[in-house]
Amino acid sequence: MARNRYDIDEVMEDHFDLGQLKRLGHYVLPFKKDMALAAFLMLSASALTMLIPRFFMTVMNDIIPQGDVKGLLRISFYTLLIILYSVFSLKAKIKITNRVGQSVIHQLRTDIFCHLQELPFSYYDDRPHGKIQVRVVNYVNNLSDLLSNGLLNTITDLCSLIFIIFFMLSINVKLTLMCMCGLPVLALFASLIKKKQHRAWQIQSNKQSNLNAYIAESINGIRVTQSFVREKENSGIFNRLSDGYRQSWMRAVRFNFMMGPTVDVISAVTTAFLYVAIVDMAMSGGTASVGVLVAFTGYISRFWSPITTLANFYNSLLTAISYLERIFETIDEPVAVKDAPGAVEMPPIIGKVTFDHVSFSYEEGIKTLDDVSFTAMPGESFAIVGPTGAGKTTIVNLLSRFYNIGSGTVYIDDTDISKVTLHSLRTQMGVMMQDSFIFSGTIMDNIRYGNRTATDDEVILAAKTVCAHDFIMQMEDGYYTQVNERGSRLSAGQRQLISFARALLADPKILILDEATSSIDTETEIILQKGLNELLKGRTSFIIAHRLSTIQNCTRILYVDKGKIQESGSHEELLLNKGPYYNLFMSQYSFMKDKAVQ
């Protein structure tokens, strides 16, 4: 899936790939015993019900002419037993197939979600999140009927059709062949519309994906929408996408609905010819007895019932293939950032960090970092400053291995981080990203997110250190106050403080703070700085900040611009150089001075 947006359709496969269905079968394989039991129940019930028309033939030919009341009661009793067994089998089949179908869906959805957890940031950078979500929820849900009923019903109905044909042939070969003459016509029709039908469902899945992407984007940006009074324009975009989905749906189901009437027409025509032939045989005094004709008439109605089910399954199959393509495409998405073959556990980190001629690009031909080199010794604090888009966040993202390095090497304690496992690396690092994401749950759970073994006292201590304790205790349930997704109940500053406590609670040897104080007021920042000075002791830290007041005490400051380190040194050294950092500092100082005068 290439870089995409809500109004751009995803690339589709043109061919009908039954391999997707075979792959789905591997998910059903663990439940083969359950499926075999359900199949046995349905096949045995189907085979037994095939005897009922034979019973009618016996009744018409022998029992009624002979006045055999006991024989009639006996056959009636057998018929009742068959019907009761069929009802029992159907109930058991429904229970088994629903359980198996939902278990398969659960496993399929779990595989997608777990795979999404491993995909790198670049995967999420390139596509709307709504288009990812629709695959995990909607597309998998659309397979429910196919898995719960379609596969097994098709097998049982196919076997039932074979049983019916066998019994019909045993009664009259000529009439059986007349009944089957409509099947080639049906097969030809299905083959003619298959490609168009498959394409129509692919387009429908694309339009559904686009609509879902825009809904997700609109919900996430609702504050901006209302702030800029964009409701009317957004509603217009939504209506256009929704109408595109509606039209694609109507076109797709039109192909599906063509199959049912086609089966009905073919069955009606062939049945009419059969009835004419049967009546002609009866009127001409042919060899067929009345019982034979009655039995055969009973089989005619049963003959087209499984064919109708098979036609419906064919429709479901074409629909499912279009969804399976997207589901397995997601599962097959390569994990670009993963443990290298033979990766070892990262030893306990001391804190030395080295960037050795590192280059990186998000897009081909555009370098975000260009030959960056520096070394941070254990316990040193490195500040990274520079204009927007200079590559500051990219440096710390590469240190955490959120992206693969284009060229060069990053070392921690002289160990190449590309040769160690991601889990052993990231568990020893504390990261507070620029996006202070808050998960649904309590404040306590959010702070404990990076260290599940931390006690309540340790959580509270971390919150006190970053000056979050006071505002947390003012909330209705303190640390056990429920917060919504993205922390909508909290201010931007409060979200950052909670995220800060979360990073610090992990007690990392390397601490990364990306714009950690950007949403904190000046008074709180002064208090927080005292706690930070204590926390940064003994840790190698990387601090990205636009507020230069927060980084003046750092061991070294790197000024990054155009993907390169333009200058580095302490705050005092850089001011004496009167280079880019000096200009940045003076511009901020002048702005704050003017603001204070006002």
User: H/E/C letters for each residue in 111-157?
Assistant: HHHHHHHHCCHHHHHCCCHHHHHHHHHHHHHCCHHHHHHHHHHHHHH
Structure tokens at 527: 């208090």
Low-confidence stretches of the chain (pLDDT < 50) are 1-2, 14, 594, 596-598
- The pLDDT value recorded for residue 285 is 60
Return d(Cα 287, Cα 173) in angstroms, integer.
13
Identify the DSSP state of 172: -
The length of the chain is 598
The pLDDT, as a whole number, for residue 460 is 92
Quick one: pLDDT at residue 352? 93
Roughly how many angstroms between the first and final C-alpha of the chain, as a whole number?
A: 53
Question: Nearest to residue 100, comparing CAs of 159, 33, 154?
Answer: 33
Specify the long-range contacts of residues 85-90, CB closer than 8 Å, at least 24 apart: 85/44, 85/45, 85/48, 86/45, 86/48, 86/49, 88/41, 89/41, 89/42, 89/44, 89/45, 90/42, 90/45
pLDDT value, residue 596: 45
Structure tokens at 490: 């909290």
Nearest CA-CA partner of 289 in 483, 58, 96, 465: 58
Per-residue pLDDT at 271: 76
What domains are there in the chain, each with its CATH number?
19-202+255-331 (1.20.1560.10), 339-428+509-518+537-598 (3.40.50.300), 435-507 (3.40.50.300)
Residue 87 CA to residue 41 CA, distance in Å, equals: 10
Q: Considering the entire predicted model, what is its pTM? A: 0.70
**Residue 11 three-state SS:** coil
Helices (H), 420-468: 422-426, 443-447, 456-465
pLDDT of residue 2: 44
Predicted pLDDT at 488: 65
Residue 4 gets the label, from left (phi > 0), alpha (psi -120 to 50) or beta, of beta
Question: Which residues are CB-contacts of 530 (< 8 A; sequence separation ≥ 6)?
Answer: none
